[in-house]
Amino acid sequence: MNFLKKDTNENKSQAELLYAAQQKKKFVFRRNVLLAWMGLLVFLIFLFSGIEIKSSDNVTGISAWHYETVTENNIDVRKRVEQVLVAIPGGLPNEGVSLKTISVDSEFIQANIDFVAEGIVETIKISALSIILAILLALLAALGRLSTNPVIYALSTFYVSIIRGTPLYLQIFFFFLALPQLNIVLTGLWAGVLALGLNYGAYMSETFRAGISSVSKGQREAATALGMTSAQTMRRIVLPQALRFAIPPMGNDFISMTKDSALVSATGFVHEIMWRATRVGRAEFRNMEALVMAAIFYWIMTLILTSIQSRVETRLAKGDR
């Protein structure tokens, strides 16, 4: 068998062997990165596990503590309960060595995780609505930037300049708090969507403009020579190619938008992840637990979106079209 195996190996060309070696190297690297990631994740969990390593009475061990609600004199009181998990007989030589990692109130998390998780739907809703608005605005602004009409060009650059020159936070408050003075009252959700959409539209217009410019002059000429009008050329020939070019950066923008949607919580009327986390966190002074929960939700959402994006990107690259 061994002999046969060697034989097939020799039948392979040098290029194939080199390629296989390269693939193996890549695979090993990726596997090790994954292991390191898992290691870091375990460390992070350990960091928030509330485990204590201490030495006292010649007993060194790892103990954990958590809160428990006990009734004392008919009042519910939360008490820290310690528990020794592992004890190392003999202990460490020096007395008073104690290492404690951050402990989180697991009972609080259990009680509030559903409440915070309900915000995911709202976060996705804001992000999706905003990205639709942003794409429309970006497209208009990009076409304006490429227009030979000075008024349209000015309009487009003016919009982009104002939006990029002011903070997103301010824009959200402007739509929510300033517009009512003009008798335009927007709900928190719509103020947020409008602000996020306008903001990202301004930034994305640059991506779209680059995409449109990336389509060669020859493409337009070929369409013109066929007798297409400029509108037909734009719709049938230029935009489909420009969008393909713009999809990867648009993915990035969508990911940042899901995170920036947290700013909308400042209006106090949009019950997305961040709003819910700060609300429960402040109420029971368990801000760390609440924010860690929110962070995990955002992180998972981002991871999912990133993997979708990279899948779309590989497909675009494969199709070469």
Partner 1 sequence: MAPIVQVTNLDKYFGHLHVLKDISVDVQPREVVCLIGRSGSGKSTLLRCINFLEDPSHGSIEVDGLKVESSGKGKEHRQLIHDLRLRTGMVFQEFNLFPHMTVLENVIEGPVIVKGMNRKQAIELAEENLESVGMSFKKDEYPLRLSGGQKQRVAIARALTMQPRVMLFDEPTSALDPELIGEVLNVMKKVAKDGMTMLVVTHEMGFAREVADRVIVMSEGQLIEDSKPDDLFKSPKDPRTKALIDRYRTGEQ
Binding region for partner 1 (CB under 8 A): 216, 218-219, 221-229, 232, 236-237, 240-241, 244, 319-321
| Residue 246 beta carbon to partner 1: minimum distance, rounded to whole angstroms | 13
| Residue 245 beta carbon to partner 1: minimum distance, rounded to whole angstroms | 11
What is the H or E stretch that residue 27 is in?
A: helix 14-47
22 or 219, CB closer to partner 1?
219
Residue 131 one-letter amino acid: I
Helical spans, DSSP H, in 146-265: 150-164, 168-173, 188-214, 217-225, 230-232, 239-260
* Cα distance from N-terminal residue to C-terminal residue, the chain: 46
| Residue 228 beta carbon to partner 1: minimum distance, rounded to whole angstroms | 6
93 or 319, CB closer to partner 1?
319
165 or 218, CB closer to partner 1?
218
Secondary structure (3-state) at 120: helix
Q: Is the dihedral of CA 162, 163, 166, 172 positive or negative?
A: positive
134 or 212, CB closer to partner 1?
212
| Residue 290 beta carbon to partner 1: minimum distance, rounded to whole angstroms | 48
236 or 311, CB closer to partner 1?
236
Strands 59-72, 75-88: pairing is antiparallel
| Residue 122 beta carbon to partner 1: minimum distance, rounded to whole angstroms | 37
Q: Is the dihedral of CA 71, 73, 77, 79 positive or negative?
A: negative
Residue 314 one-letter amino acid: T
What is the H or E stretch that residue 98 is in?
A: strand 98-100
Backbone angles phi, psi at 29, to 5 degrees: -60, -45
Residue 50 one-letter amino acid: G
| Residue 178 beta carbon to partner 1: minimum distance, rounded to whole angstroms | 44
165 or 227, CB closer to partner 1?
227
53 or 228, CB closer to partner 1?
228
Could you write out the DSSP letters of every residue in 218-231? Answer: HHHHHHHHTT--HH
What is the H or E stretch that residue 76 is in?
A: strand 75-88
| Residue 223 beta carbon to partner 1: minimum distance, rounded to whole angstroms | 8
The burial class, CB within 10 Å (0-12 / 13-18 / 19+), for 8 is: exposed
75 or 231, CB closer to partner 1?
231
| Residue 319 beta carbon to partner 1: minimum distance, rounded to whole angstroms | 8
Instruction: State the number of CA atoms in the 13 A half-sphere of 266 facing the CB.
Output: 18
